Amino acid sequence: MTNNSHPPILTTGLQAHIAKAIGDAGGWIGFDRFMALALYTPGLGYYANDSRKFGLMPTGVTTVGGAGGSDFVTAPELSPRFGQALARQLAQALQATGTSEIWEFGAGSGALALQLLEALGPLVARYTIVDVSGSLVQRQRERLAAHGGKVHWVSELPAQMRGVVVGNEVLDAMPVKLLSRLENIWHERGVVVHQERFTWADQRTELRPPLEVAGIHDYLTEIHPQAEGFVRTLADRLEAGAVFMLDYGFPEHEYYHPQRSMGTVMCHRGHLSDADALVDVGSKDITAHVNFTGIALAGQDAGLQVLGYTGQGRFLLNCGLLDGLENAGLAERAMVQKLITEHEMGELFKVIGFATNSPVQPYGGWQAMGFAQGDRTHTL
């Protein structure tokens, strides 16, 4: 699968670093390792370098390659109403679990943290951000300066924690393993160096998708051991509280549909998307859709209760997104529409919630408002 348009790999420090890792591993690394290096290598990876990543494309900007100043937009950048609606759910969860701390994973630009802090006020005694990106942490510190007394940063989970956990577009950035079925034989897809370029290479494997994929046609997909391991670790360390994860993805039977034969890995730069993760490494995001069935089972097997699962649009409506919108201007209404309409973020993005079995509210003791109508847990 060599592509002559690929740039030489030694043109950047990150590419040279990955090439050395491939050599040190015997000439081949799995895609999950490649993705981790591309995104998180300290000082060089996409999330660890100083490039601007989050924000709206300025009006009238049509240039390619990030000239608009950012690569993609997340829901909090579209409208502060996103954070205000989510805050209503978090407030209910704080009260139901008898906790007073918010834990946010991968806080990005800090936009969501600011919205939640302003909306929750005294309900939150401490707001802890878990982020591995030094450049993003600096941006968050600047944005959240007014709340400096409450906000704290850590780079890894503590041994024990209490509070309500939130992660918006976090799971999709966790490295995935690629599996390819070629001539009815399963392989793990990885990366090698060929003619000074990164190139795909497959090795036979005993790994399989969690569901059997009907047919014998060639098929490419992902499995998510790191995201599922993250949820299990979270469950192990969360003594009391709740978890809400928002991301794009599908339940298992949709994820491994026979017709979804090209996988879901995508790259994002300059508000444009492409499917070639081996090009321009370090200058663009690499993501994969979430298998929410796997996430639900990982949490449940580790002792968490699934509070609910639904589309982002329904979740936000349940949390009062439209309250007071009749007084909003046209531009604000348009942004809110993007959050909830099916052809925008409302259906592709999903929300899953978990809770611990706390003495304040045992399992089943409270109904999370975000799932009060339209809960789809039965489809997982």
Q: Which domains does the chain have, with CATH numbers?
A: 9-379 (3.40.50.12710)
How confident is the model at residue 162, as a pLDDT? 97
To the question of pTM greater than 0.85 for the whole model, the response is yes
DSSP state of 262: B
How confident is the model at residue 193, as a pLDDT? 97
How confident is the model at residue 188, as a pLDDT? 98
How confident is the model at residue 62, as a pLDDT? 37
* Phi, psi (rounded to 5 degrees) for 106: 55, 65
How confident is the model at residue 292, as a pLDDT? 98
- CA–CA distance from 168 to each of 58, 82, 109, 220, 363 (Å)? 23, 11, 12, 26, 24
How confident is the model at residue 274, as a pLDDT? 93
- The CA angle 62-65-71, to the nearest 5 degrees, is 90
Name the stretches of the chain with pLDDT < 50.
1-5, 57-68
How confident is the model at residue 9, as a pLDDT? 53
Which tens digits make up the pLDDT trace of 228-266? 999 999 999 999 999 999 999 999 999 999 999 999 999
Which tens digits make up the pLDDT trace of 274-308? 999 999 999 999 999 999 999 999 999 999 999 99
Looking from the CA of 351 toward its CB, the CA atoms found within 13 Å total 34
How confident is the model at residue 54, as a pLDDT? 58
How confident is the model at residue 4, as a pLDDT? 44
Which tens digits make up the pLDDT trace of 142-181? 999 999 899 999 988 999 999 999 999 999 999 999 999 9
